[in-house]
Chains A and B, each alone.
Chain A
């Protein structure tokens, strides 16, 4: 596998995970940008644990994910049932605080960051890349499965009811705070996991990696892909991340214009994004129809 393909696929997986980390709390209408701070904290934690304490990759991955979950859970006591705007402000604040603390901490490399993260396996760089790619896509499958199970359970339906009308959801017996705490903790855990994987893909880290720009990118992927289901980001992340990479040199300067026009066009034609629930049920009906017709023909 070429190095280019590795980075394309690896970073696409990170974008998928991060967009899902934002998607999960948004199921009940909260834009939980704290996930970017979780990503940064867990990535730095992983760097220190690997370089200074000599922890193995698996331990770092599990600990980084749990650290993300722990921070998300603690914060959720305060903002579990907070309105969207308050959750956004808390997210921005935590990103800013995290960045400032990292930049001012010598042990974390300050503004320079941390270099020379080791490979996760002994052997060639190519073998290391293969293993990382397999792990990150297994994680995408795992997280995707968990989100699918959640979306199709009582939890998912409760989250949808909160998204539509909080008051009404409460009358149905939905505990808005507990639901918010659960979704925020889940999102933060994925943010932490993404941070650890991002570190081992890039093998260097600096506070400049975790900016508001990352929120913008993940939001775009979520909203263009479709924010009402988990499937949209699976298409939007590789597409939106890949388009700027394949534009020829002659149109490099127009890249942002092309990108912008593309986004506006998609949002005008499909305001809820590419993949919506009606779209999914339409496909599902068609598949059923085709299958049903085949069975009927056989009979």
Chain B
């Protein structure tokens, strides 16, 4: 009987906590900044299968907050990035987002796509602006103007880099390995547009199953079409294994292999080793950029991660915190809870049209909630490092 009572008391406590959490009311204040500190919630994935990526993103956001605080904060008040873990669960993401809709000025995240799909509609419905800074345009666009995309539409940004690669290596007949996950098939379609623009023939895609273990039959299927160049739109480990399989079957012209940005992570280099030397890869950041700000970021990241280089999405939430700072300061947001709805709109409208934002890697401007002038970088892989071949700004 005692146990039943205990369980009932616990249930009641949960309900009361959640109820109370959702009904907080704003404190009264007028004019000027009224908050003691700016709290920016970050719906991240800190546990589960991609927790390491979440940690890198969190690190970037918190580093930006540290830098900003050391330089006097946002409008004179310190900023704190709140760690909120969704565990990659859409259900948990919805509840965590729902806790924020009555109180947060903006929200960073969520990460990754399944949680975005579940949680961003709630924020959009309730007029809360989401910084979906790691996903592709297609996931953020349905929630415009209440979400910002860090990337231009896939069909606008990717063809140019593929055309540049195709022209550079003289690709004539190209096959793609495509894994059916999230935005990847859409990226493969954009690659095909770039190939056509370059005058190359696009052969039938080879689908890479998500649970693929052996890659010989897939490689045979691709080689049967007699391609002279190949693009990879599958995960890093699978890409490395397919390249190794291709080499075993006599493929020699490594520059005619192009790896897409989503496969640019540690597994590609650790699995592929020296066998991926000469392979081309495209991405959105240049690790060898030589600016004091990037060098400091890069060194700090390596110091905190046993010498590992920052991965390509590392700057995204670092930049997001700075973008929020600029939006607050430029629009005169006060943090007054009574003006919450109006101040959310101020930030939303400012960020959706932000001009000449000084990002960690480069400056960019938004129009209609997404960037128009972000560059892409084409690299050649040598000895586990990327060597810059070309910088492309899509029209």
Contact B19 A2 (CB under 8 A): yes
- Min Cβ gap B341→A in Å is 15
The answer to whether A125 touches B125 (Cβ under 8 A) is yes
Complex-state Cα separation, A112 to B89, whole angstroms: 16
- Between-chain CB contacts (< 8 Å), 18 pairs: A3-B126, A4-B95, A11-B91, A11-B94, A104-B180, A111-B182, A111-B183, A112-B117, A112-B138, A125-B125, A206-B113, A206-B114, A235-B7, A235-B11, A246-B14, A246-B17, A249-B82, A256-B87
Query: A253–B15 Cα gap in the complex (Å)?
Result: 23
In the bound complex, what is the Cα–Cα distance between A253 and B85 (angstroms)? 8
* In the complex, A5 has a CB within 8 A of chain B: yes
- Count A-B contacts at CB 8 Å: 127
Inter-chain contact A252/B114, CB cutoff 8 Å: no
Given contacts A209-B118, A245-B95, contact A239 B11 (CB under 8 A): yes
**Hey, which chain B residues are within 8 Å of A205, CB to CB?**
117
Give Cα distance in the complex from A156 to B93, angstroms: 38
B18 and A4 contacting across the interface, CB-CB below 8 Å: yes
Q: Mask for B272-294, Cβ within 8 A of A = 1, else 0? A: 00000000000000000000000
Are A5 and B47 closer than 8 Å at their CB atoms? Answer: no
Which 5 pairs, one residue from A and one from B, show the smallest C-beta to C-beta distance? A2-B22, A208-B114, A3-B98, A4-B22, A252-B85
Closest to A112 in B: B138
Chain B, Cβ-Cβ closest to A209 = B90
CB-CB under 8 A from B94, the residues of chain A are: 7, 11, 202
Nearest Cβ in chain B — how far from A7, in angstroms? 5
How many residues of B are counted as interface, with CB atoms below 8 angstroms from the partner's CB atoms? 51
B121 to A203, Cβ gap below 8 A? yes
Is B19 a contact of A202 with CB atoms below 8 Å?
no
Check B271 for interface membership: any CB of A closer than 8 A.
no
19 new A-B contacts, CB < 8 A, other than A4-B18, A4-B19, A4-B98, are A2-B23, A4-B95, A5-B22, A11-B95, A100-B180, A110-B185, A112-B186, A202-B90, A202-B94, A203-B121, A206-B117, A208-B117, A209-B118, A235-B7, A245-B96, A252-B47, A252-B85, A253-B47, A256-B48
CA distance A65 to B242 in the complex (A): 43
Q: Which residues of A are at the interface with B, using a C-beta cutoff of 8 A?
A: 1-8, 11, 100, 103-104, 110-113, 115-116, 125, 202-206, 208-209, 213, 235, 238-239, 241-242, 244-246, 249, 252-253, 255-256, 274, 283, 286
- In the bound complex, how far is the Cα of B99 from the Cα of A2, in angstroms? 8
Chain B residues closer than 8 Å to A235, beta-carbon distance: 7, 11
Q: Does B362 contact A (CB under 8 A)?
A: no
CA distance A205 to B113 in the complex (A): 11
The CA of A4 and the CA of B186, in the complex, are separated in Å by 34
Task: Tell me if B184 and A111 are in contact (CB < 8 A).
Answer: yes
Determine if B84 and A249 form an interchain contact, defined as CB atoms under 8 angstroms apart. yes
Residues of B within 8 A of A209 (CB): 90, 114, 117-118
The contact of A7 among B23, B83, B98, B181, by CB within 8 Å, is: B98
Assess whether A113 is in contact with B98, with CB atoms less than 8 Å apart: no
Report the bound CA distance from A203 to B97 in whole Å: 14
Whether the pair A239, B10 counts as a contact (CB closer than 8 A) is yes
Contacts of B125 in A (CB 8 A): 125
Contacts of A202 in B (CB 8 A): 90, 94, 118, 121
A111/B181 in contact, CB under 8 A = yes
Give the docked Cα–Cα distance between A110 and B85 (Å): 27
Across the interface, name the chain B residue whose C-beta is closest to A205: B117
- A111-B181, A112-B182, A253-B47 known; A2 and B90 CB under 8 Å? no
Q: Give the chain B neighbours of A283 by CB distance below 8 A.
A: 1, 4
CB 8 Å contact bits of B1-34 with A (1 = contact, 0 = none): 1011001001100110111011100000000000
Q: B215 an interface residue at 8 Å Cβ cutoff?
A: no
B117 touches which one: A6, A113, A213, A252 (CB < 8 A)?
A: A113
CA distance A146 to B181 in the complex (A): 40
B352 → chain A closest CB, angstroms = 19
Mask, B94-135, CB within 8 Å of A = 1, is 111011011000000000011001100110011000000000
Chain A minimum-CB-distance residue to B15: A5
Q: Are B17 and A255 in contact (CB under 8 A)?
A: no
| Closest residue of B by beta carbon distance from A250 | B83
Chain A nearest CB: distance from B108 CB in Å?
Answer: 14
Q: B residues within 8 A CB of A7?
A: 91, 94-95, 98, 122
Q: Give Cα A145–Cα B99 distance, bound, in whole angstroms.
A: 33
Least CB distance, B44 to chain A, in whole angstroms? 9
User: Interface 1/0s, chain B 357-370, versus A by CB < 8 A?
Assistant: 00000000000000
Residue B142, interface by CB 8 Å: yes
